[in-house]
Amino acid sequence: MSTALLIDAGNTNTKLCIADETGLKSSYTLPTRPRNTADDWGFKLIEILRREALNPEDVEMCAVSSVVPPLDPLLSEMSKRFLNVRARFVPRDLPLAIENRYARPEQVGADVLVTALAARRLREERCIIVVDYGTATTLACIVDDAFMGGLICPGVLSSMRSLHEGTAKLPAVELEVASDELSWGRTTSECLNQGLVFGFAEMTSGLCRKLGKQMDDTPYVMATGGLAPGIARVCSEIREVRPDLLMEGLWMACFE
């Protein structure tokens, strides 16, 4: 049975996931630090493999989705030195079975294309919008087998950090709400929680409705990213939450 290492290199965190033909297995999240060396990443990987009772030679594939160019050579060197396999980057080395209709295709992040592929494979609806709550909030529009374009908006956590670091009295909060109904906050933490969670939920709803007017059919809206479950609770447009949609797409690229 072939074992693969799937890597999602994002601006804030880098996620490593073990997978085989049957699907995704364990995953681990590390902070993205492009200044680390290939050996730093390699020794972390060895610890992960040891925890999963795997040897480096058990890993036969390494697939990478990266939006952090300075990290790419480090991951390539790590894969070569510690696994003795060539890291394959999507879509450059590992083509994705989805058409890219962006005016400048080279500007589309690999993460957007991979999640678009996964959404297309998982859903039969002709029109889909994928909302990814990452460092930035992105909306990807898929019609038939093509990524048509989308939107890039501020991220939830980056917005919270900006408020916390740019003000004297606003604290960092956990971004959790006790109720699905909006109410005014009675503490600063409640005000921030409610404002960020419900604010991004309403932004998502409004943007999806406007984007849907450009599609022939009502779009099926999927959400992904670590904050997706909480925001989806209070967002009427989101039909499905799949926090690991990108990893599912990488798995599809490797094994389907």
Q: Which residues are catalytic?
A: 111
- Type of residue at 115: T
DSSP assignments along 207-241, one per residue? HHHHHHTTSSSPPEEEEESTTHHHHHTT-TTEEEE
- Type of residue at 15: K
